[in-house]
């Protein structure tokens, strides 16, 4: 008898590596089509919300009741407004040019919005359109929140997406339903629309040609902005270190090192001379150094967080120690640069390296458990698409990062700009901050993945799981004084998230909360109008105070927090002495060229 044939395992047609490569290329193509937004997340979030709403009859009754209430209010408003308008029109015809009488009671406006600040929105028919839109917004907000059983991330995403879609159809966005635009059009006989058309054509041409905005040509780097005198005293493949020329006969012996975020050009802190933080510090008698990060390309695709620590922060500290020997450093980090500085400072404390005199953080998060609206764009599904796209290019393009901020601030960055520049025909006034914002940068693929996964997704630093040199670091090892600045209306680093450093370190922490946003709140020079801040110092090993309680009890000071920070630095510095030399040629840090250097010019 013949033995039965044992079926052999079929030979694989496609290897696992080839399959992964195919998936990566396909997903990169999807990312390009969707603007790096995950269709899987959109679909899952919508169905999660819709199915749970379908099995929530109580929630459905609440929404039906709210819709009926809004409809009744809108009908009453329309009838009353129309009747009042007719009555006023008839009375005006009888009175001639005499002023019309005021109604005995104003028409109720239960919901307000800064898009509708023009008083004309309270007149018929614009008040009805305004209220219809805002009531719809309120209904959708109620519909997408607090549906039992929905994943919180999905709930937030659906609510956010609904708000963005509704914002597109706001009556303030259209010529025929915006009384401000209609009034301007009649006053100028349509000249505003002609200017708006020219503005739109110019912007479109620049986008198609991949040219920077016109404002970039009005502010020249090294002349109008980033113009504080100084020298590049060190350069490697990741950063340049700039030492600024002293303007005072004596300086504080402890130098200040500024570590900016690698997603921004450093000169956010060296804009025009009147609002340059770096110039301000130099003029107050501080020796200032600043890191200028290289704008990475394909060659830098494999640089990660460890590289930015070693070749960035630690390399800068080594250089400063050679130029200003035997002096501790006031290290200062902004945004992601502050997170990087926190990691580096914790590693130095772990290793008994005491070369830092203090640490200052500007709008920088160390605990990412509540990172704010930016978390909407960061989950496994979104990261999978980003990683596939970055594998093709080697870096995260600035346009991809900009897209997320456009979504978060669609009113400021899209709709209000469209109304002002294309319908009213008014170009925004040129500002140095806008020129800096247009000078975008890229991010290495590995760095971006490291940062998003280890910070936003896993919160490794706050959990004591972040490794430097193969060993974990914790912020509670820090014993040096810490100065932390949060901004009230921050979309990138919400101040309550920044405040969480109080839970991670027992060191002395001076927390400052200033008004305005992530950038404008930091660039808050003395003399800037309408600026104020709150400030409280928690002593070493002091008791914790919750963020809301802190805000209620912290005293308000009018003016710029820069003066407070300068006073804080001086109190932790030695007596003034002669300025150090520029660079240290004998120590291997010769002057290479004038500030602002080469890397800041890279596009």
Token readout for 468 is 């430097």
Beta bridge partners of 509: 482, 538
Question: Would you call 478 exposed, middle or buried from its count of C-beta atoms within 10 A (0-12, 13-18, 19+)?
Answer: buried
Report residue 261 CA to chain centroid gap: 11
234: nearest Cα among 593, 601, 600, 603: 593
Report residue 182 CA to chain centroid gap: 34
149: nearest Cα among 54, 41, 42, 62: 54
Report residue 57 CA to chain centroid gap: 39
Q: Torsions phi, psi of 209, nearest 5?
A: -90, 0
Token readout for 102 is 């005021």
Q: Is 275 a catalytic residue?
A: no
Are 142 and 119 in contact by the 8 Å Cβ rule? The answer is: no
User: Which CA distances in Å does 98 have to 40, 83, 92, 104?
Assistant: 63, 20, 7, 18
Are 393 and 298 in contact by the 8 Å Cβ rule? The answer is: yes
Q: Torsions phi, psi of 103, nearest 5?
A: -65, 150
SS3 content of the chain, % helix, strand, coil (to 5): 50, 10, 40
How far apart (Å, rounded) are the C-alpha atoms in residues 129 and 135?
10
Token readout for 475 is 């912020």
Report residue 168 CA to chain centroid gap: 22
Assign 247 to helix, strand or coil: coil
Taken in order 503, 504, 508, 511, is the CA torsion positive or negative?
Answer: negative
Q: What is the DSSP letter of 577?
A: B
First to last CA, the chain: 78
User: Catalytic residue among 143, 335, 388, 443, which?
Assistant: 335
Task: Mark out the alpha helices in 96-190 (DSSP H runs).
Answer: 126-143, 152-168, 179-188
The residues assigned a catalytic role are 335
């Amino acid at each position: 008898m013949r033995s039965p044939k044992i079926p052999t395992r079929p030979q694989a047609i496609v290897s696992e590596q080839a399959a992964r490569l195919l998936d990566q290329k396909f997903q990169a193509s999807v990312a390009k089509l969707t603007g790096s937004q995950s269709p899987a997340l959109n679909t899952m979030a919508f169905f999660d919300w819709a199915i749970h709403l379908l099995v929530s009859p109580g929630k459905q009754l609440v929404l039906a009741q709210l819709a009926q209430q809004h409809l009744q209010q809108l009908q009453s408003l329309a009838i009353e407004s129309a009747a009042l308008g007719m009555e006023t029109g008839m009375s005006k015809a009888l009175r001639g040019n005499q002023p019309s009488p005021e109604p005995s009671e104003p028409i109720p406006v239960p919901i307000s919005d800064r898009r509708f600040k023009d008083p004309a929105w309270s007149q018929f028919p614009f008040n009805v359109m305004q209220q219809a839109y805002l009531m719809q917004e309120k209904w959708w907000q109620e519909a997408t929140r607090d549906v039992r059983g929905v994943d919180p991330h999905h709930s937030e995403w659906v609510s956010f997406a609904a708000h963005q879609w509704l914002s597109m159809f706001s009556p303030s966005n259209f010529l025929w339903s915006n009384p401000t635009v209609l009034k301007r059009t009649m006053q100028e006989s349509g000249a505003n629309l002609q200017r708006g058309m020219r503005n739109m054509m110019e912007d479109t041409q620049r986008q198609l040609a991949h040219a920077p905005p016109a404002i970039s040509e009005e502010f020249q780097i090294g002349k109008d902005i980033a113009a504080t005198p100084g020298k590049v005293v060190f350069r490697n493949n990741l950063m340049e270190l700039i030492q600024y020329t002293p303007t005072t006969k004596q300086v504080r012996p402890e130098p200040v090192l500024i570590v900016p975020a690698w997603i921004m050009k450093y000169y956010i802190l060296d804009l025009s001379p009147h609002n340059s933080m770096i110039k301000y510090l130099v003029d107050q008698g501080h020796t200032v150094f600043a890191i200028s990060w290289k704008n990475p390309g394909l060659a830098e695709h494999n640089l990660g967080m460890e590289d930015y620590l070693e070749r960035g922060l630690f390399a800068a500290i080594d250089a400063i120690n050679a130029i200003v020997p035997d002096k501790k450093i006031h290290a200062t980090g902004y945004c992601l640069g502050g997170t990087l500085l926190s990691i580096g400072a914790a590693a130095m404390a772990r290793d008994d390296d005491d070369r830092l005199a203090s640490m200052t953080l500007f709008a920088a998060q160390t605990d990412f458990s509540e990172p704010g609206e930016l978390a909407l764009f960061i989950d496994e599904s979104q990261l999978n698409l980003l990683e596939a796209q970055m594998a093709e290019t080697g870096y995260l393009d600035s346009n991809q990062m900009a897209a997320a901020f456009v979504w978060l601030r669609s009113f400021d960055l899209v709709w209000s700009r469209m109304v002002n520049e294309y319908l009213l025909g008014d170009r925004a006034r040129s500002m140095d901050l806008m020129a800096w914002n247009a000078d975008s940068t890229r991010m290495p693929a590995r760095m971006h993945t490291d940062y998003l996964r280890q910070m936003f997704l896993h919160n490794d630093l706050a959990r004591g799981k972040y490794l430097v040199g193969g060993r974990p670091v914790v912020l509670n090892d820090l014993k040096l004084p810490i100065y932390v600045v949060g901004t009230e209306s921050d979309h990138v680093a919400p101040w309550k998230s920044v405040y969480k450093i109080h839970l991670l370190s027992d060191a002395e922490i001076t927390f400052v909360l200033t008004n305005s946003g992530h950038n404008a709140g930091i660039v808050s020079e003395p003399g800037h109008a309408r600026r104020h801040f709150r400030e409280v110092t928690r002593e070493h090993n002091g008791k914790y105070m919750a963020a809301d309680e802190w805000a209620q009890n912290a005293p308000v000071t009018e003016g710029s927090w820069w003066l407070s920070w300068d006073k804080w630095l001086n109190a932790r510095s030695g007596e003034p002495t002669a300025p150090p030399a520029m660079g240290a040629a004998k120590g291997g840090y010769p002057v290479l060229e004038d500030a602002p250097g080469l890397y800041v010019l890279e596009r």
